[in-house]
């Protein structure tokens, strides 16, 4: 079972989290963020049950396993939970289950962010959208901008962005799918039965799709069109 739970206590061995009215212990070895246990107090962490002993009323939780499960699908456009590792003038590095992703300052909010530290702090837990994943270089580009219900929500109400993340991501994926469909339809419109198509300079040639295999670049906004 996976849940996002609030940290309500801490000691040298780990932190105590409240999960659906129950209190469970998260050992230090099962916490993925580099934040101290004191810094995690009152924060929310994704947690997974790893041991439940009803007789001794013992509940052991893991933040690492919860995040690792989230990362099983690092698909473009997917939403994952991570914690802020560090801040740089150009963006924030986010730990998403053992992988460090970059949330560029331009991808934090539709509104301009002059000082990242006014929006994010190390140890903050947030949901981010995967914009790109270079598996060879193990580089991941992230966005919270795409998850804002209204422009500027990451600055004014980050909790709302967290709660609406999956819903906003679904809407965004629909926009991308619609844009791809329209692009293919435009190309097919010029494809004669012979299998030839007009190129940009008006020369007939074999039909080929210019769309990349991974789809459109999610770093660009694609507006929804109204149906007539």
60 and 106 in a common domain: no
CA dist 33 to 1, 28, 85, 167, 183, Å? 20, 10, 7, 26, 42
Determine the average pLDDT of the residues in 91-95: 92
CATH number of the domain at 80, please. Answer: 2.40.50.140
Backbone angles phi, psi at 205, to 5 degrees: -160, 175
Determine the average pLDDT of the residues in 97-103: 82
Model confidence pLDDT, tens digit, residues 22-61: 888 999 888 877 778 888 888 878 788 888 766 666 788 8
**Residue of higher predicted confidence among 136 and 155:** 155
Residue 100, pLDDT > 60, answer yes
Q: What total of structural domains would you count in the chain?
A: 2
Summary mean pLDDT of the chain = 78
Nearest-angstrom CA–CA distance, 99 and 131: 14
194 and 138 in a common domain: yes
Report the Cα–Cα distance between both ends of the chain, in Å, rounded: 44
CB-count burial class (<10 Å; 0-12, 13-18, 19+) for 97: buried
159 and 57 in a common domain: no
Model confidence pLDDT, tens digit, residues 74-86: 677 888 888 898 9
């Amino acid at each position: 079972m996976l849940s996002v739970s609030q940290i309500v206590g801490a000691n040298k061995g780990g932190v105590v989290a409240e999960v659906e009215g129950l209190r469970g212990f998260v050992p230090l070895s099962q916490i993925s963020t580099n934040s101290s246990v004191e810094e995690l107090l009152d924060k929310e962490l994704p947690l997974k049950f790893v041991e439940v002993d009803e007789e001794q009323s013992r509940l052991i939780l893991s933040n690492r396993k919860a995040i690792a499960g989230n990362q099983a699908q690092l698909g473009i456009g997917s939403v994952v939970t991570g914690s802020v590792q560090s801040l740089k003038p150009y963006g924030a590095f986010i730990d998403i289950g053992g992988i460090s992703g970059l949330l560029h300052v331009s991808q934090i909010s539709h509104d301009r962010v002059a000082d990242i530290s006014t929006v994010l702090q190390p140890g903050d837990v947030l949901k981010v959208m995967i914009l790109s994943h270079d598996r060879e270089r193990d580089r991941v580009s992230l966005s919270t901008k795409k998850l804002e219900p209204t422009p500027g929500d990451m600055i004014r109400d980050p909790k709302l962005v967290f709660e609406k993340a999956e819903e906003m991501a679904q809407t965004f994926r629909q926009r991308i799918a619609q844009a791809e469909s329209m692009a293919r339809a435009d190309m097919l419109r010029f494809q004669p039965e012979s299998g030839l198509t007009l190129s940009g300079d008006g020369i007939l040639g074999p039909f080929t799709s210019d769309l990349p295999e991974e789809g459109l670049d999610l770093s660009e906004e694609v507006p929804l069109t109204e149906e007539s």
